[in-house]
Structure 1
């Protein structure tokens, strides 16, 4: 015990002298300059900003504590379709979950403690914060700014190269945490089926795969449309999961700003972007025609509008629900 006390004392002295700072996210001890200030340097392991602010880890976080109401409502409607679970399990059995893993092992780069170690550290941070076993993480060369989670028994997360190139380290953590949120929220069965239905939406293509009768049944029964409608709303829940990991709503906001504005985002005023998000939400809530067109346009997309996602996160924070959850766990 005496030795531990000496070690702790020497560490405190070192911090006081500005020699090192322990990363609040991953725990790595980092050497810093004597004039160090919060957020003026990044961790050598996870590359996230160093700060003496605490980072909360959730001991027993339940998915229903952060699931978005629109997600819950859409999922209930989806589960009300007769035979849906059986059909989806047959679909995934036919297409083979192993195909997902084989594809990315062959066409993407697998992240490990030695391969892209900062991304591996970010994945570990997201998983330990939410209480999820670490899935495999891959980087795939793709000009589309996107990320997704696939598989069921052994989920995998895939980040597109364009996304990593465009986002900051904190924003990249937010995206990884969003994908880990899908695993924590137990979205992966329906989410994998939804993405597969997007790929097989053309029946002429669907007929080429084994078990095409199952695909045709799913489409004809309206399951495909219900799946995609739910999948869009599930993204709102996982934005909340991302916030529980990064613990700064503006990181989520800036990420969405880049998704909306692309590389031009560096010239965009973030505060004005937040005003735009609030204006969008106000019009959506108060103007029936705006709501009608927003719903129609968004129905053709795989994700909710970035501006809508920002407004939903702002609402969750400003309503006090996020703060209450941070205190509770």
Structure 2
């Protein structure tokens, strides 16, 4: 999309508001000097009054209701986190990862600001950790922390990195952080090297098997809500779709036909809905995973867009355009 500078030869970034110098014959491929996102004449909607219930996935809501129905779950989780130590999370990353600030990795900091201002969330701390696993996560309770793995940033475009950051900010906006932190700690403690550690034994003592199973089942479904949050920030379903495609194909994704990948996602959803055996195996296999299948996540985003709910929210009374 061609961009039209003002008479001073500048264009304001629709995401972060930065004024950028650009030539009148710009092709639309120019990028903001601050957040590194594409410059465009299209408006970018903000949702300062967004209610989480307007976008939270029904599967997330049902699983969370089932989790909260377990007697003593909140007090048990808080006790568990007190034993494992929320402060340890911050110490670990301050000591072993790069702390993103306005002066350190400023484009990532700007993307964090974009995600937070779009969803109406206070800025958490952001870190980049050297890790070959393509992933990101949010932890903490009182003071949330977002961590991006270096391999993820190296593999994704700027728009896709924004989608990932927005997904993690979505966990904060949707008030997932208490339960999510406990779920991620349980997943870490399932590691063979930690299985016999005192902390792992404490988790078994404090949290019943029912609590642990319900918590991990909910955590997978919470990801579906945050994919929707990512879409509300990027405001382009293809950005979210391509991000998830790279989770499937890795470096091979550059050779994958994106439209065929979307067809694959629709086929998966159709078979899941219509064939009991497909649904059985998908549910059984995914029960051992920390996240839903990437193709499944794409199909759920497509379903949300096709339903018209995303468009209604994007054009609703709570959406505004920054001047």
Interval of TM-score (by shorter of Structure 1 and Structure 2) = over 0.9
In structure 2, runs of 5+ residues without a counterpart are 319-323
Match of 1:24 among 7, 14, 19: 14
Matches of 1:206 and 1:263, distance apart in 2: 33
In structure 1, runs of 5+ residues without a counterpart are 1-13
Indicate conservation of the 8 Å contact 1:206/1:215, yes or no: no
Q: 44-53 vs 195-204, which deviates more? A: 195-204
Q: 1:214 to 1:304 in 2, by over 3 A?
A: closer
Matches of 2:261 and 2:39, distance apart in 1: 27
Matches of 1:76 and 1:47, distance apart in 2: 40
Indicate conservation of the 8 Å contact 1:18/1:33, yes or no: no
- In structure 2, the residue corresponding to 1:53 is in which secondary structure? coil
Matches of 2:229 and 2:193, distance apart in 1: 38
Q: Count matched residues.
A: 314
Q: 1:30 to 1:276 in 2, by over 3 A?
A: same
Matches of 1:119 and 1:204, distance apart in 2: 33
Structure with the greater relative contact order (CA < 8 A, sep ≥ 6): 1 or 2?
2
Tell me what 1:194 maps to. Answer: 183
Indicate conservation of the 8 Å contact 2:189/2:200, yes or no: no
Indicate conservation of the 8 Å contact 2:16/2:114, yes or no: yes
Match of 2:126 among 118, 128, 137: 137
Q: How many angstroms does 1:203 deviate by?
A: 9.1
Match of 1:277 among 260, 265, 269: 265
Matches of 1:203 and 1:21, distance apart in 2: 54
Q: How many angstroms does 1:204 deviate by?
A: 8.7
Matches of 1:283 and 1:210, distance apart in 2: 42
Indicate conservation of the 8 Å contact 2:80/2:206, yes or no: no
What TM-score comes out, normalization by structure 1 length? 0.92
1:69-102 per-residue CA deviation (whole Å, 9 max, x = no partner) reads: 0000000111111111111000011111100000
Q: How many angstroms does 1:211 deviate by?
A: 8.7
- Whose helix fraction is larger, Structure 1's or Structure 2's? 1
1:2-42 per-residue CA deviation (whole Å, 9 max, x = no partner) reads: xxxxxxxxxxxx9245822110000111111221133x111
Larger Rg: 1
Indicate conservation of the 8 Å contact 2:80/2:202, yes or no: no
1:31-79 per-residue CA deviation (whole Å, 9 max, x = no partner) reads: 11221133x1111100000001000011200000000000000001111
Tell me what 1:76 maps to. Answer: 65
Aligned positions of 1:234-273 closer than 5 A: 234-273=222-261
| Alignment RMSD | 1.6
Tell me what 1:311 maps to. Answer: 299
Within the alignment, does 1:111 sit opposite 2:119 as a pair?
A: no
Indicate conservation of the 8 Å contact 1:68/1:236, yes or no: yes
Q: How many angstroms does 1:209 deviate by?
A: 2.7
Q: How many angstroms does 1:250 deviate by?
A: 0.5
Match of 1:295 among 267, 283, 286: 283
Indicate conservation of the 8 Å contact 1:138/1:157, yes or no: yes
Matches of 1:197 and 1:210, distance apart in 2: 10
Match of 1:59 among 48, 58, 61: 48
Matches of 2:202 and 2:48, distance apart in 1: 44
Matches of 1:30 and 1:301, distance apart in 2: 44
- In structure 1, the residue corresponding to 2:169 is in which secondary structure? helix
What TM-score comes out, normalization by structure 2 length? 0.94
